[in-house]
């Protein structure tokens, strides 16, 4: 062993390798044998732990793991064949071919292919959204049940139930472990986008989960999206648009939260802290995404994020461009939250009254104001800007009650201060 050589494993190497091994072995043993597959992966890591720790890491840890997994698969199949009620001649013929056949599954291109199959299986449209998310994290990303529970701010029992339910469904309905073809591919990709974007947002917006695991989630969603983008079947303009959106959002990850855990608004964020590499990647992928005839919501959301990321400071933000983009987005995605965000842009373009009216026109607004703090917070602060202090105070107080985030409470309290002298009761 060389003196002074520092041996460090690549961050999350085991998790990523677990995802690869599970995907390849599932292709070998079938999705109905996911239990066998998971045991094999577990044994592979145990072996690595046993062997590597006494001296040196192998030159290529990743290849080492795959080789061990492959050999375990071959052993397992040979044992099965011995048990089968076949003539000795046939068994020996089959066995001599096993090694060659199994090796084909472990070729790099086939690994990527298997991983994509796994993503499509985990994000099968017939599964519940929450089951898709849990199963993706478990089998594609190599998260443990405990880690998934932490990431999704849920209990281990709940996650276990979701995984069980998903696996049973797949088995019972013989869901195929495959990459869909033809028209089905586009529809199935849509579900994959939703799950990946959800994973990313869980990490990006969760105020409950701890910082480390939130970061892991975002990084993982980005990695999977990249995996999709790098595969001939997955590389569509929408995939690249989603990937660019994640890059732009992730570039601001570190500057959104202050030292005292308070949320820092876009206007106050230190733009020096934004990750320029990620912004450049975002730009690159967005340019790549600009082909074809289909304009996806991810194209628009990424263009919006790009506008923010590329503005040198808050005041140079091109609000007119943003408004244009939000108008288009609203056509594709007429949801309350898009309306709300569009109203913030309106307010920035000196159309405060119109901004307030836009929010007031959101269907079922009362329900939203009473259940989701963000609506009360935004409308309240717009009323404040318009000088309607009583309404402002009433809504900001409502938002204060609704949010469980201490950072948000702190921010809202700041906002209410100027109106504190005004008693509305």
Partner 1 sequence: MKDFMFFFRGPGDLTLSPEQSQVQMQKWLNWIQELTAKGHYKSGAPLSKDGKTLQGEKPVVTDGPFTEGKELLGGYLVIKANSLEEATALAFGFPDFDKKCSLEVREIMEIPAH
Of 19, 42, 34, which is closest to residue 169 (Cα–Cα)? 34
Q: Quick one: tokens of 324?
A: 């244009």
Stretch that binds partner 1, among 13-21, 25-33, 108-116, 318-326 (CB under 8 A): 13-21
3-class secondary structure, 257: strand
In the bound state with partner 1, the residue whose beta carbon lies nearer, of 45 and 169, is: 45
CB of 76 to partner 1, least distance (A): 17
Residues in the interface with partner 1 (CB under 8 A) total 32
CB 307, min distance to partner 1, A: 37
Select from 46, 153, 212, 337 the one that contacts partner 1 (CB under 8 A): 46
Token pair of 211, please? Answer: 């910082």
According to the binding rule CB under 8 A, does residue 67 interact with partner 1? no
Instruction: Tell me: does residue 8 bind partner 1 (CB under 8 A).
Output: yes
Nearer to partner 1, 42 or 261 (CB): 42
Encode burial over 169-200: b for 16+ CB neighbours within 10 A, e otherwise: bbeeeebebebbeeeeeeebbebbbbbbbbbb
Give the integer Cα–Cα distance in Å for 282 and 343.
26
174 CA to centre of own chain: 26
Minimum separation from the CB atom of position 71 to partner 1 (A): 14
From the list 14, 106, 193, 253, which residue makes contact with partner 1 (rule: CB under 8 A)? 14
Stretch that binds partner 1, among 51-59, 316-324, 380-388, 405-413 (CB under 8 A): 51-59
d(CA 359, CA 173) in angstroms, rounded, equals 44
Q: What is the smallest separation between the CB atom of 113 and partner 1, expressed in angstroms?
A: 21
> To the nearest whole angstrom, how small is the minimum distance from the Cβ of residue 104 to partner 1?
25
Nearer to partner 1, 54 or 100 (CB): 54
Q: Which of residues 125-184 bind partner 1 (CB under 8 A)?
A: 142-144, 146-147
* Sole residue written with tokens 């609506």: 375
Which of residues 30, 42, 318, 401 is near partner 1 by CB under 8 A?
42
59 near partner 1, judged by CB under 8 A: no
Minimum Å gap between C-beta 79 and partner 1 is 15
CA–CA gap between residue 288 and residue 74 (Å, rounded): 41
CA-CA distance, 233 to 300, in Å (whole number)?
23
From residue 83 to residue 122, the character string flagging contacts with partner 1 as x (rule: CB under 8 A) and all else as - is ----------------------------------------
Give the Å distances, CA to CA, from 174 to 133, 168, 170, 254, 410. Answer: 20, 10, 6, 43, 51
Residues in the chain: 425
Applying CB under 8 A, which part among 39-47, 126-134, 353-361, 366-374 lies near partner 1? 39-47
With a CB cutoff of 8 Å and minimum separation 6, the contacts of 242 are 193, 196, 197, 225, 296, 298, 302
Q: Please say which residue, 14 or 200, places its beta carbon nearer to partner 1.
A: 14
Residue 41 vs 278, nearer CB to partner 1: 41
- As to burial, measured by CB atoms within 10 angstroms (0-12 exposed, 13-18 middle, 19+ buried), residue 231 is middle
Q: Which stretch binds partner 1 (CB under 8 A): 3-11, 92-100, 222-230, 384-392?
A: 3-11
35, 51, 63, 205: which one contacts partner 1 (CB under 8 A)?
Answer: 51
Indicate which single residue of 23, 48, 241, 243 sits in contact with partner 1 (rule: CB under 8 A): 48
12 contributes a contact to partner 1 by CB under 8 A: yes
The region, left, alpha or beta by phi > 0 then psi within -120 to 50, assigned to residue 203 is alpha
Interaction between residue 390 and partner 1 (CB under 8 A) = no
Residue whose pair of structure tokens reads 């519940």 in the numeric block: 128
Determine the Cα–Cα distance for residues 84 and 294; give it in Å rounded to an integer.
52
Kindly state the tokens that stand for 122: 């985990």
- Indicate the residue among 17 and 202 with the shorter CB distance to partner 1: 17
Q: How far is the CB of 227 from partner 1 (least distance, A)?
A: 17
Judged by DSSP in three states, 364 sits in coil
Using CB under 8 A, list all residues that contact partner 1: 1, 3-9, 12-15, 17-18, 41-42, 45-46, 48-55, 57, 142-144, 146-147
């Amino acid at each position: 062993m060389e003196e002074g050589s520092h041996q460090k494993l690549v961050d999350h190497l085991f998790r990523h390798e677990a995802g690869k091994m599970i995907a390849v072995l599932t292709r070998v043993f079938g999705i109905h044998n996911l239990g066998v597959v998971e045991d094999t992966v577990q044994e592979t890591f145990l072996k690595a732990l046993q062997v590597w720790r006494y001296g040196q890491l192998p030159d290529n840890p990743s290849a080492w793991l795959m080789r061990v997994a492959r050999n375990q698969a071959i052993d397992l199949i040979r044992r099965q064949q011995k048990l089968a009620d076949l003539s000795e001649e046939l068994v020996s013929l089959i066995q001599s071919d096993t090694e060659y056949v199994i090796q084909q599954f472990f070729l790099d291109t086939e690994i990527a292919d298997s991983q994509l199959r796994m993503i499509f299986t985990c994000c099968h449209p017939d599964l519940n959204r929450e089951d898709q998310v849990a199963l993706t994290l478990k089998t594609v990303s190599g998260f443990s049940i405990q880690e998934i529970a932490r990431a999704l701010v849920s209990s281990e029992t709940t996650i276990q139930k979701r995984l069980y339910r998903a696996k049973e469904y797949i088995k019972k309905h013989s869901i195929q472990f495959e990459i869909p073809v033809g028209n089905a591919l586009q529809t199935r990709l849509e579900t994959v986008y939703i799950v990946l974007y959800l994973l990313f947002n869980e990490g990006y917006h969760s105020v409950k989960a701890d910082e480390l695991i939130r970061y892991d989630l975002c990084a993982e969603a980005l990695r999977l999206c990249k995996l999709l983008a790098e595969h001939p079947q997955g590389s569509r303009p929408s995939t690249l648009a989603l990937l660019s959106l994640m890059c732009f959002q992730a570039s601001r990850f570190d500057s959104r939260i202050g030292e005292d855990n308070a949320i820092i608004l876009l206007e106050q964020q230190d733009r020096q802290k934004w990750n320029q590499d990620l912004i450049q990647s975002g730009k690159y992928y967005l340019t790549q995404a600009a082909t074809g005839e289909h304009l996806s919501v991810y194209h628009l959301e990424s263009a919006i994020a790009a506008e923010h990321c590329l503005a040198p400071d808050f005041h140079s933000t091109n609000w007119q461009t943003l408004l244009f983009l939000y108008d288009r987005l609203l056509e594709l995605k007429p949801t309350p939250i898009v309306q709300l965000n569009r109203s913030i842009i309106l307010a920035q373009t000196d159309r405060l009254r119109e901004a307030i009216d836009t929010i007031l026109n959101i269907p079922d607004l009362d329900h939203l104001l009473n259940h989701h703090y963000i609506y009360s917070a935004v409308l309240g602060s717009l009323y404040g800007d318009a000088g309607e202090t009583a309404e402002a105070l009433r809504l900001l107080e409502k938002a204060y009650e609704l949010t469980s985030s201490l950072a948000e409470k702190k921010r809202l309290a700041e906002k209410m201060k100027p109106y504190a002298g005004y008693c509305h009761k």
